[in-house]
Structure 1
Amino acid sequence: MEVNQYLDVFLDESREHLQAVNDNILVLENEPENLSLVNEIFRSAHTLKGMAATMGYEDIASLTHKMENVLDSIRNNQLKVTTEVIDIIFVAIEYLEEMVEDISNGNDGKKDVTKLVERLDRFEKGEQPAADEAAATLETEVADAIAIDLDEFQMTIVDQAEEQGFSAYKIIVTLSDQCVLKGARAYMVFEALEGKGETIKTNPATEEIEEGNFENEFELIFLSKEPKDNIKSIIQSVSEVKEVRMDNVTFKSKNTQHAVEEDSSKTVEEKTNKSKQTEENGAAQHASKTIRVNLERIDDLLNLFEEVVIDQSRLDVISNQLRNPELRETVEHMNRVSSDMQGLILAMRMVPVDQVFNRFPRMIRGLARDLNKKINLEILGAETELDRTVIDEIGDPLVHLIRNSVDHGIELPEVRKAAGKPEEGSIILRAFHSGNHVFIEIEDNGAGINIEKVRAKAVENGIVTPEEAAALTKDEVAELILASGFSTADTISSVSGRGVGLDVVKSKIESLGGNISIESKEGEGSIFSIQLPLTLSIISTLLVKCREETYAVPLSSIIETVLLEDDEILYTHGQKVMDFRGQVVPLLDLQTVLNIPEDGDDEERKNAVVVLKKGEKLTGLVVDSFIGQQELVLKSLGEYLGDVFAISGATILGDGQVALIIDPNALIK
């Protein structure tokens, strides 16, 4: 049977079943007696096994078969649901996800699952190991199961090194049990490797290793042109080194790791009649009706419709010039129909944020265990929909913010208890619509932001001067944690503390046309709020005139337009300002900002002001005149022009002219 034609369907459905297993396992951990959940997980694993066997992916079929046996033992009351059982099933899910991803990249999806199958066999027979043995085995298996993830900077180093013929190795060094000066021995290992290549990542962090803050082993990612055996013998020559394990490894950047899972298959689902039915007596849930459409076709359809929008604007101009009633009526009808078409096409591109949110429960569970914290994650509004383009980009920033809340926000159980709080901390991840925007909030009931510590650290790092720091409000101080290189962590951990992350979050969100704000009360918790546009392709704008040029300002950033008289323009510290309902708002002249040439008609210029808002900040943009509102197609400026200050793109107007689209975020900065 020719199976290649079914590959896309296999990949889509495999991801769906794995996600279903993942979600239900998390619930099962809290409801170990709920056999209906076990039945659901069993059915998902059984379906995945059948699909994999049909497609010829034997390793996936073998592993899911062993998972089935363990689940069957639970269903027949031969095995109890324990933390160790949950852990080993999670490892199996990691293996399966990695194999499915390997298949989607055009490979055969093969992986050595022998050790994991043996472990599952032991559970199936009821031979549950002691907790410490299980934890030790699990740690090794997880290390083998998950591909090493690197940030963008480290990935750049790897890419450049591989182009120059370097190989990437994962090295696990185990010291002898009698070793006293572990930090010194580890330092000797690094010194022995010096000149043979480059270490780009260690676990734990290098500082922790050199201080001896690890058990008997540590690992490093090493780039070298030396043969594997040579490197191994160099490390083994260091005294007190008991064992050296070394493997060639492949990497995936965090952007790839956290991308929405359906991205690789380029498909999108338009789901209708979505309903959850209560499981009774193990009856299967009814699947909702779906239609699978290749995402590239939806993009092509949107591109064609964008051309229709441009021609529609042209027809508007022509009908106004000819003043023909029948033509005017036809154009108005076309406007109504195209508006409905636009809504439908954009709705097809909308995907629920659940596709991003659904990976966080497992991530929180793992981080909480690593940091010895008790954390409950609550997800609200997962059905809220966003444009696919935004969904693909928002995953990584959310990961940074949640890790920040887990590490810096939620305190250790004993600290919370001493402060009169429940030992279990809470993180709420919520999404909701408001106007033409979607808001995503990460709220925790942890320690909040220590304003004075942030203020002192910002001065120490040279981000602000002592005088500037003293004049900042609490909210302004809190937002300093979004500055590049800023960190209040006293120690560097594998979770955070290097001063990278939140500045990347801020720049990524702003590149999507959104913004981020912070509310925090010391001792009570923090709320990180992200505001995002619903879509990035067709936007509502206000057309304005500046000299001979026409510009478009996104309506989502405009709160009002004002016509000022000359005597209403004030000055403070040499800066033009206006009084806007009792608030002093700085004025920016668009002609000055964009260096628009003079045309000699200064006397005819009017002080037309567009009041822009970003967060709590206001700015008045001075233009010559307002033209009117219009929906426009946002087109990229392309690689040739690169990043142009205060310009986010361009569009073609109804009269055939090109208008630049203003980026309000850049102006307010």
Structure 2
Amino acid sequence: MEMNQYLSIFIDEANEHLQALNENMLKLEQHPEDISIVQVIFRSAHTLKGMSASMGFEDLASLTHEMENVLDLVRNDKLKMNGGIFDTLFKCLDALEAMVKDVIEGGTGRGDVAGLVAQLKGIVSGEPAAAAPATAAETSELALVAVHMLLDQYQLSVLQQSVESGNPVFHIEVAIRSDCLLKAVRAYMVFDALERNGEVVKSHPSVQEIEQEQFDRSFSVYYISRIDQAQLEETLNRVSELESVTVTPVDLASLAELDQSREASNEAAAQARQEVAAAAAPAAPAAPAAPEAPSAAPEAAARPSASASAGNAAPRTIRVDIERLDSLMNLFSELLIDRVRLEQLASEVRRNDLTETVEHMARVSSDLQNIVLKLRMVPVDSVFNRFPRMVRDLAKSLGKKVDLIITGAETELDRTVIDEIGDPLVHLIRNSVDHGVEPIQDRIGTGKRETGTVNLRAFHSGNHVFIEIEDDGRGINRPKVLEIAVNRGVVTAEEAKKLSDDQINMLLFAAGFSTADKISDISGRGVGLDVVRSKIESLGGQVSVTSNPGAGTKFSIQLPLTLSIISAMLVKLGSEKYAFPLSSIVETAIAKRADFRDVHGNRMIEYRKSIIPVVSLAQLLESPDYRDEDEQETEMLVIRKGEKLAAVLVDELIGQSEIVLKTLGKYLTNLDVISGATILGDGQVALIVDPNALIK
């Protein structure tokens, strides 16, 4: 069977099952007695095993098979889940994700799963999970070989004959340093040295994969040598940028064990293929399959409460290149402009048949507009759903207790923004868990719950999406931030005295800035928040931070809907037209200039028993021909950003309209108040005002 045509389907379904496994494992960790969750996990693992075996990914299949054995004991009440089993299963999920990622990148989908397989077998046999790594080095080496480098019968016989004739045979493991830039070149130098002094019988990965850099940092070979072990090690150690070289002699006993492992693996693969064929057969299930029916019922009952990715029948989908969607959006925006123009002409001509046709076209194009918009929009849930597992692992490694509360995961963002937002959110959440949430003893000492909370929120506001990460930790230590900033030359001592609290908070985003006392694998290297800001700004967004010492910190990311069709209020300033997103407008009104008040040099007006600032859009944008300030009354828009309100003065309100939001590109820059432009039905260009920037 030609597998390449099914590879994309395998990748999509494997990712869905892995996400479902992660989510349900987290649920099971919270409710370890809930067998219905175990049923869902078991079914996902079983399906993933069958898919992997049928596609020929043996390491994926063997690891999921051992996971199945553990889960089968749990669901049959023969084994109780504990912290050690959870940790082992989560490590297995990480290994599965790494192997699927390797497949996506064009690799073979192989991975170092021998240690995990041994731990899972230890759990099934009742041995402690930690006992597996304590085996002798040679046994571990043979386990690695048994999984990754099973020799065929010809290769085995060549090695056996070499050992019998007195030629030394070695298994060589080479690890290249992580900072090596040209690892394929170093690998070539190793193979060149080997081939001058003997013969390479088998390598993992293959020579072709190593030449194309399709390997991590290590590779291994079976080697027949003309020189002894000491000379061989000395020769290989002369190659620079190698982290380690391990040379293990191979004797007849170890080769015999490898032969048995090869036969066992072949039998397991054959059994897996039979299971896949039986599962795929459309015929009625045979009698032995009947006992599995009761276990399917709890799974079906539990599935609606699980996430949509937990294994339900996938909806029928088709993949479309993002550039085609861009073209479709551009074409529809032209159609929308023509529709508005036709509506204007129909109102001028006043023919009933023309008016009816234009009205029908408007209804159809409105439906089409909704469909076109939704094609590019993706819920942020596709990014958020990987964070619960990440927070769980981080908190465990730091010895903390942290709850991640996600709200607004259904909020939709443009696909191009979704693809880029994941890494900045990872940095911010890691920062909150590491720097924000205090250790358990510190929290108890300050009267807080021992379990910290990190809130991840997403919501729409105007033509923007806001994502907030808020923790209830210690807050930002501003004196320490100022001290570090002055010591590192980010600001001078004189400038530091004039900074406001918000400006001090923003120093965290300076390049190379870090408040960590020591460097760890989580933080302290001075990379993170500066990367976050540069990435967000490259997407046309902004990031800000607020903090209360002892109460917590909140990071807020503002992202634009970069390509969208929005409802807007058109206004006039002299001869110029501007558009305000309708979602940011609270109401329109007539304001009497006599009602304006001067408070500390700022104009304010009373609005529904509160005082709000007044902004003259004409003065702000330096409109050349706006109405004179001497007029008694003027039109006013009341706009909102969160809890903040402001009144914007304009010359005239034209009315509501559907507009296409176009970016200004590189032609007009540094215009914070303007978020884009649109073309109106009469061909005029109207600039779109950003209410969030106005209030800010």
Q: Which interval holds the TM-score relative to the shorter structure?
A: 0.5 to 0.7
| 1:497-576 pair list within 5 angstroms | 497-506=524-533, 508-509=535-536, 518=545, 520-530=547-557, 536-544=563-571, 550-556=577-583
1:202 alignment counterpart: none
Q: 1:503 to 1:666 in 2, by over 3 A?
A: farther
1:396 alignment counterpart: 423
2:198 alignment counterpart: none
Tell me if structure 2 keeps the 8 A contact 1:515–1:615. Answer: no
- C-alpha deviation, 1:470, in angstroms: 6.5
Q: 1:428 to 1:649 in 2, by over 3 A?
A: closer
1:442 alignment counterpart: 469
Aligned: 1:98 with 2:101: no
- C-alpha deviation, 1:431, in angstroms: 4.1
- Name which of 222, 230, 233 aligns with 2:239: 230
Q: Which amino acid aligns with 2:59?
A: D
Aligned: 1:360 with 2:387: yes
Tell me if structure 2 keeps the 8 A contact 1:609–1:621. Answer: yes
Q: Which stretch shows the higher mean deviation, 524-533 or 9-18?
A: 524-533
Q: 1:470 to 1:630 in 2, by over 3 A?
A: farther
2: CA distance, partners of 1:609 / 1:491: 54
Across the aligned residues of Structure 1 and Structure 2, the Cα RMSD in angstroms comes to 4.8
2:50 alignment counterpart: 50
2:446 alignment counterpart: 419
Q: 1:429 to 1:604 in 2, by over 3 A?
A: closer
| 1:452-467 pair list within 5 angstroms | 452-454=479-481
Tell me if structure 2 keeps the 8 A contact 1:590–1:622. Answer: no
- Name which of 368, 381, 405 aligns with 2:432: 405
- Name which of 292, 317, 329 aligns with 1:292: 317
Q: Show CA shifts across 1:40-78 (max 9, x none).
A: 211101111112222333332232222222323434555
SS at match of 1:541: strand
SS at match of 1:74: helix
Q: Which amino acid aligns with 2:344?
A: V
2: CA distance, partners of 1:561 / 1:477: 38
- C-alpha deviation, 1:632, in angstroms: 1.8
Q: Which amino acid aligns with 2:440?
A: P
Q: Which amino acid aligns with 1:14?
A: A
Q: 1:392 to 1:51 in 2, by over 3 A?
A: same
Q: Which amino acid aligns with 2:426?
A: V
1:312 alignment counterpart: 339
1:633 alignment counterpart: 660
Q: Show CA shifts across 1:403-447 (max 9, x none).
A: 121012111112122223333222233445677765544332222
1:29 alignment counterpart: 29
1: CA distance, partners of 2:32 / 2:539: 42
Q: TM-score if structure 1 supplies the norm length?
A: 0.66
Tell me if structure 1 keeps the 8 A contact 2:461–2:641. Answer: no
2: CA distance, partners of 1:456 / 1:565: 50
2: CA distance, partners of 1:608 / 1:615: 23
Q: Show CA shifts across 1:613-635 (max 9, x none).
A: 66688888887765443322223
2: CA distance, partners of 1:81 / 1:21: 16
- C-alpha deviation, 1:507, in angstroms: 5.7
Q: Show CA shifts across 1:120-175 (max 9, x none).
A: 333333332448968xx9xxx9xxxxxxxxxxxxxxxx99x97xx787999xxxxx
SS at match of 2:239: helix
Q: 1:603 to 1:642 in 2, by over 3 A?
A: closer
Q: 1:416 to 1:5 in 2, by over 3 A?
A: same
Tell me if structure 1 keeps the 8 A contact 2:568–2:657. Answer: yes
Q: Which amino acid aligns with 1:84?
A: G
Q: 1:466 to 1:543 in 2, by over 3 A?
A: farther
1: CA distance, partners of 2:346 / 2:186: 68
Q: Show CA shifts across 1:154-202 (max 9, x none).
A: xxxx99x97xx787999xxxxxxxxxxxxxxxxxxxxxxxxxxxxxxxx
2: CA distance, partners of 1:467 / 1:561: 46
- C-alpha deviation, 1:290, in angstroms: 1.9
Q: Which stretch shows the higher mean deviation, 606-615 or 32-41?
A: 606-615
Q: Which amino acid aligns with 1:405?
A: S
Q: 1:383 to 1:653 in 2, by over 3 A?
A: closer
Q: Which amino acid aligns with 2:386?
A: R
- C-alpha deviation, 1:36, in angstroms: 2.7
Unmatched tracts of structure 1, length 5 or more: 142-157, 171-226, 236-242, 246-277
Q: Which amino acid aligns with 1:541?
A: A
- C-alpha deviation, 1:368, in angstroms: 1.3
Larger radius of gyration: 2
Q: Show CA shifts across 1:248-306 (max 9, x none).
A: xxxxxxxxxxxxxxxxxxxxxxxxxxxxxx98655574735622132436666544433
- C-alpha deviation, 1:358, in angstroms: 1.4
2: CA distance, partners of 1:167 / 1:636: 44
1: CA distance, partners of 2:639 / 2:503: 19
2: CA distance, partners of 1:662 / 1:407: 39
Q: Which stretch shows the higher mean deviation, 513-522 or 442-451?
A: 513-522
2: CA distance, partners of 1:590 / 1:415: 52
1:378 alignment counterpart: 405
Tell me if structure 2 keeps the 8 A contact 1:84–1:131. Answer: no
SS at match of 1:414: helix
- C-alpha deviation, 1:473, in angstroms: 6.5
Q: 1:435 to 1:309 in 2, by over 3 A?
A: same
| 1:572-611 pair list within 5 angstroms | 578-581=603-606, 582=611
Q: Which stretch shows the higher mean deviation, 360-369 or 317-326?
A: 317-326
| 1:304-343 pair list within 5 angstroms | 304-343=331-370
Tell me if structure 2 keeps the 8 A contact 1:546–1:590. Answer: no
1: CA distance, partners of 2:396 / 2:132: 14
Q: 1:74 to 1:615 in 2, by over 3 A?
A: closer
Q: TM-score if structure 2 supplies the norm length?
A: 0.64
Unmatched tracts of structure 2, length 5 or more: 138-142, 144-177, 188-235, 247-294, 305-311
1: CA distance, partners of 2:597 / 2:384: 48
Tell me if structure 2 keeps the 8 A contact 1:28–1:34. Answer: yes
Tell me if structure 2 keeps the 8 A contact 1:57–1:110. Answer: yes
Tell me if structure 2 keeps the 8 A contact 1:590–1:621. Answer: no
Q: Which stretch shows the higher mean deviation, 410-419 or 375-384?
A: 375-384
SS at match of 1:294: coil
Tell me if structure 2 keeps the 8 A contact 1:484–1:499. Answer: yes
- C-alpha deviation, 1:540, in angstroms: 3.0
2: CA distance, partners of 1:510 / 1:614: 20
Q: Calculate percent identity across the aligned residue pairs.
A: 54
- C-alpha deviation, 1:592, in angstroms: 6.1
SS at match of 2:317: strand
- C-alpha deviation, 1:364, in angstroms: 0.9
Q: Which stretch shows the higher mean deviation, 37-46 or 446-455?
A: 446-455
Q: 1:308 to 1:603 in 2, by over 3 A?
A: closer
